[in-house]
Chains A and B, each alone.
Chain A
Amino acid sequence: MKTVLDLNQLNDNILKIKALLIELEASASSFPALSRNSKRALASVKMMELNLCDLVTLGLADHPLSSNP
């Protein structure tokens, strides 16, 4: 069974994670274990942005499995 992808919802979730990590990195500047891991996680989030968010932002995202034409 093929899964229908809700690309807008996926995009929203990625951006939420990004916002949380940015906040965590900033607020934990005196806590290297948290701030440096947040920064590293942000690099991974950037890869998700390249994979999806850039397309959604530009209105280019559609896919046969997508619920968002």
Chain B
Amino acid sequence: MLDQEYWNPVLETLPREKLKILQFKKFKQILTWAYTRSKFHKALYDKAGLTPDDIRSFDDIKKIPKVEKSMMREIQNKDPFPYGDALCVPLEEVSVFRQTSGTTGQPVYQPDTWQDWEWWSECWSFILWAQGYRPSDRVFLPFGYNIFVAFWAGHYAAEKLGCEVVPGGVLDTQSRILKIRELKATAMMATPTYVLNMADVAKNKMGIDPATLSINKITCAGEPGAGIPSTKRRMEEAWGAKVFDHSGATEIGAWSYECRKQPCGMHVNEAMFLVEIEDLETGEIIEEPGRKGKMVITALDRVAQPCIRFDSKDIIEWDSESCSCGRSFRLIRGGVLGRADDITKVKGVLISPAAIEEVVRSIDGLGDEFEVVVDKQGDVDRIKLKVELLPEITQLSVENRLKDQLRLKTNLGYQIEYYDYGSLPRYEAKAKRFKDLRKKDTAQKEVRP
């Protein structure tokens, strides 16, 4: 059993035409469930003049109105308190509260029944098994166990797989590194930012080379980094471990994962989720590979507060290749490429923070941290890029390569500011490295190191 490639050998290799039938049946089920149990969903679909019976084919699915995060925020704190009327089960059936981090505004509250929570860890079991987690693994979880979903389900899934789980909750970074060393932990889950931060602390504050520790695989989530080749390479080299990408969200669930073949992308768990990609300008559903769009996603089995055609704002594209692992679940190329909120035009050119990250972390003399600030100089857009020079590295030795690569990969010119190593802010979880000061959002202030 342990050399079995798939967590579910039937679902993960199901021929695509059968997968589509399964998705359609499950979509109808969850739609009917929400329509008959939630005032919010009923009102939404009634307003569009639709009932579940009107959805007769796969193509009809796109008629169903999308749910925006702002809509979920509006119903918070109303009855039934604190979730509002998207709740589809009696309050006494809710066994777990979580909330979103509020990175893009007021947090959204997420209720889950115990069945939903089993479902969360089931989705994570697909991920961990595909990434080679087995009962012989000792898994260290260096995250704050709190109201954010973060790696909670990863914890429960690792237990389900039979791994030994070490919760590294309230420890500081140095204590966590010592605990990994003491226990000879073999696997870890963290955001890319924190994986690099831990390596930095181990190396530069503790004199420990993380590559000499026993971690052989790391699962990342929360940020796109593990799908950005230069960031992935930095993490893998620092820890001497395989780094795998995964994507999920509080309101959605754990919907995609990289497998052991590391195919430069992630499989969508299409047995549990229906992913549609919508053109950013026309709203048309994109079926063909290679065209970027915004993800609209349905969690097909989540019952307390269903996630039906949720506008996630994640930018993704289908891959034209199938994976050599044999899974029939489609790949999204390069993982989550960014967020629609973050992709903005500067001097008339679309700029993606992920593209800048790829360039900065591909330059060997630069540190892991950087910051991008977009503002206006008079009427003209200006992009400031702040980077750190590693000790004993001169500006002269990196600047031409950095400028050339930025021009090549992003088609834009930058005002580059160089800082001493350790000057820019460090983050423990999700980093905020992109600041657009042209927006009226007063929360976005430039931080001077």
Contact = CB atoms under 8 A, between A and B. Distances in A.
Interface of A: 5, 7, 39-40, 42-44, 46-47, 50-52, 54-55, 58, 60-63, 65-66
Question: What 9 A-B pairs are tightest by C-beta distance, nearest first?
Answer: A43-B115, A43-B118, A60-B18, A63-B10, A47-B122, A43-B114, A51-B8, A47-B118, A46-B115
A47 B10 contact: no
Q: Which of B10, B13, B114: most chain A CB closer than 10 A?
A: B10
Given A50-B272, A60-B22, A44 B118 contact: yes
B21 interface: yes
Interface of B: 8-11, 13-14, 18, 21-22, 25-26, 113-115, 117-119, 122, 271-272, 301
A54 B272 CA distance: 12
Interface centre among A7, A50, A65 (most CB of B within 10 A): A50
Contacts of B10: 5, 7, 51-52, 55, 61-63, 66
19 contacts: A7-B10, A39-B114, A42-B115, A43-B113, A43-B114, A43-B118, A44-B118, A46-B118, A47-B119, A50-B119, A50-B271, A50-B272, A54-B22, A54-B26, A55-B10, A55-B14, A55-B22, A58-B21, A60-B22
B114 A40 contact: yes
Given A50-B122, A54-B25, 4 more contacts: A39-B114, A47-B122, A55-B11, A55-B22
Nearest to B93: A39
Contacts of A63: 9-10, 13
Contacts of A7: 10
Given A55-B14, A60-B18, A50 B301 contact: yes
A36 to B, nearest CB: 10
Nearest to A60: B18
Given A40-B114, A43-B114, A50-B119, A65 B18 contact: no
Contacts of B272: 50
A13 B124 CA distance: 25
Nearest to B10: A63
B22 A58 contact: yes
A66 B10 CA distance: 9
B433 to A, nearest CB: 38
Nearest to A48: B122
Contacts of A5: 9-10
A55 B25 CA distance: 11
Given A40-B114, A46-B118, A58 B25 contact: yes
Nearest to A36: B114
A32 to B, nearest CB: 14
A51 B114 contact: no
Contacts of A43: 113-115, 117-118
A49 to B, nearest CB: 10
A55 B18 CA distance: 9
B336 to A, nearest CB: 25
Contacts of B114: 39-40, 43
B96 to A, nearest CB: 12
Contacts of B301: 50
A60 B21 CA distance: 8
